[in-house]
Structures are given as C-alpha cells and as structure tokens.
Amino acid sequence: MTAALNVEGLRVTLGGREVLHDVGFSLEPGAFCGLIGANGSGKTTLLRTILGFTSPSAGRVALGGAAGYVPQKLQLDPDMPVRARDFVELGLNGHRFGFPLPSRARRAKVEEMLAAVDAAGFAGQRIGELSGGQQQRVLIAHALIRQPKLLLLDEPLANLDLRAAAEIIALLRRVAKQGVTVLISAHDMNPLLSAMDRIVYLANGRAASGTTQDVVRTEVLSALYGYHIDVIRVHERILVVAGEHGAHGHEHVATIP
C-alpha cells in the first residue's frame, strides 16, 4: 500500500541552526497520528516542510495525494463579514480566478461539508464571532472540502477547553476512519493519547515514531532529549518526567488507551 506521507532523512536549517535532524517516518492511509513535542521542538517547522513552505537542506517528503491544512486559529476581527459558510466555500474555490457565479451544486457541497463537521448550526455566523471549537470545525471543513488524502493540523486543541478538544478529536477520528490520514501537532499529548493510532514524538529536532507503547518509553525519550527521562505507568496513566539533568523541565501526564 502506498504511504499517505513518507518523510525520509529530513534536515531543516533555519537562521543557521539545524532545527530538524534526520527526521523520518511514514504514515499509512487512514492513520490517526499525533505530532507531539514541547514548544520549540520543531513541530511547526516539520508541518511547514511537509506543506512545501520551507525547503529542507537534506532528505525528502513524499505525499500520497493532496494535503489539507488547518492553522491553529484565524486572527479575524469579529466585525469582518465573512460567514462560516463563505469560508468553507473558499476551501473549494479560493484558489481559482474569476468572480464566482452562483452555483446550486457548489452550495450543496458546502452545506454537506458543514453538516459533516456538525457546523450547520452556525454556518451563517461571522467566523470571527465563533468560539474556538466552532472555528476549528469550520477550518476543518475548509480543509476537507477538496477531499485531501492527508490532513495536517497545527495545534488545533491549543485554545480549546477539555470538552471542545474531545469533540474535535472525535471528529478527526471519524475523518481518519473514512481513509484520510490525519496528523495533529500538539504540545500536550494528554487529550490525544486515547485516540491516536501512532505518534511522532519530536524533541531537540529529533523524532521517534510508532505506537504510544513503542515511543513513550524511558530509553526512547531519554535518547531523544539527550538526558534521562522517566516514564512511569500508574493506574493506567503515563507520567513522563524529566530527570534531574532535565533543566528544561518537561512533563506530561497521559492516559494509556
């Protein structure tokens, strides 16, 4: 089976500093994968390189089909008269030139996509007035309407409360089950662990990938961080604790599926 995303030996240098060192992993179609790492670990650089915004100094990225992208948040004034419906429609034809003529088929497709992400109820509202969770649904609909094979999301849960985050994860899980490969970046793996098929864990520009059990282990994370990391399993939860040399103090608590 052709991989939906194949990253091999990727090195990226920004401002004279190598941000990603020999990063490699592969995702199958329909995989639901978390790109986990602390702030500054290289997650956004990796996403930007996959999207083609940043050129690698070495290595390659191969996509099995079109990629859709969901940014963290739209910085829009609430007064801007752009409705959720308009924004999803731009996902369909925003790259095309010429003034759009009314189209019943296009409108039906937009409404179908809004319904698929449970956004029909606020489709007529200005996008700047929507809550973080509602805006994420609209952004996801915008990215999905052109039926990409791969969906890349940059910290989609960063500004959401627990309930909204759980709803977005459930939605993305549904998307992955329909065959779209989903790669979500997150600095906190807590909300994601129970849903992900696999993770790509980034630290110091290096990556380890596999299932949670494969990656979230003392020896793997210690090798990534370059100092001792304890992974403690307590009452079906994972506690990741930086060792005494971990001056950068990095800690995660998560539930094992």
Partner 1 sequence: MTLLQPGFFSSLPVQNALLIGAGAALLSGAAGVFTVLRGQSFAGHALADVSAAGGAMAYLLGISPLLGFFSLSVLGALALEALGTRRAAGRDLAAGIVLGAGMGITALLLYLDVTVKGSAGAAVTVMFGSLFATPPGLGRAVALGALAGLLGLGFIYRPLLLASLDGELAKADGVNTRLLGAVYLLLLALAVTLSAMAVGAILSTALLIGPAAAALRLARSPVAAMGLAALLGLGCAWGGVWLAYQSYGWTPGHVWPVSFFITALVLVVYAAASLARRA
Which parts of this chain interact with partner 1 (CB under 8 A)? Answer: 51, 53, 67-69, 71, 74-76, 79-83, 86-87, 90-91, 93-100, 142, 146
**Residue 126 DSSP symbol:** B
Buried b (16+ CB within 10 A) or exposed e, 20-58: bbebebebebbbbbbbbbbeebbbbbbbbbbbeebebee
Q: Which is nearer to partner 1, 72 or 204 (CB)?
A: 72
CA 177, 178, 184, 189: dihedral to nearest 10 degrees?
-10
Distance of closest approach, residue 143 Cβ to partner 1, in angstroms: 8
Closest to partner 1 by CB, 92 or 239: 92
Residue 181 DSSP SS3:
strand
Considering beta carbons, is residue 16 or 81 the nearer one to partner 1? 81
CA triple 183-188-194, angle to 5 deg? 65
User: Rounded to whole angstroms, how far apart are CA atoms 60 and 192?
Assistant: 27
**Is there a contact between 43 and 19 (Cβ–Cβ < 8 Å)?**
no
Nearest approach in angstroms of CB 94 to partner 1 is 4
Residue 75 Cβ, how far from partner 1 at the closest point, in Å?
8
Closer to partner 1 at the Cβ: 15 or 81? 81
Minimum CB distance to partner 1 smaller for 16 or for 97: 97
Tell me the closest approach of the beta carbon of residue 200 to partner 1, in angstroms: 19
Q: Which two tokens stand for residue 177?
A: 């089950």
CA 61 to the chain's CA centroid: 17
Minimum distance of partner 1 from residue 243's CB (angstroms) = 37
Closer of 145 and 193 to partner 1 (Cβ):
145
> How many Cα atoms are found within 13 Å in the side-chain-facing hemisphere of 29?
9
Smallest gap from Cβ 28 to partner 1, in A, equals 22
Q: Per the structure block, which two tokens stand in for 32?
A: 């639901």
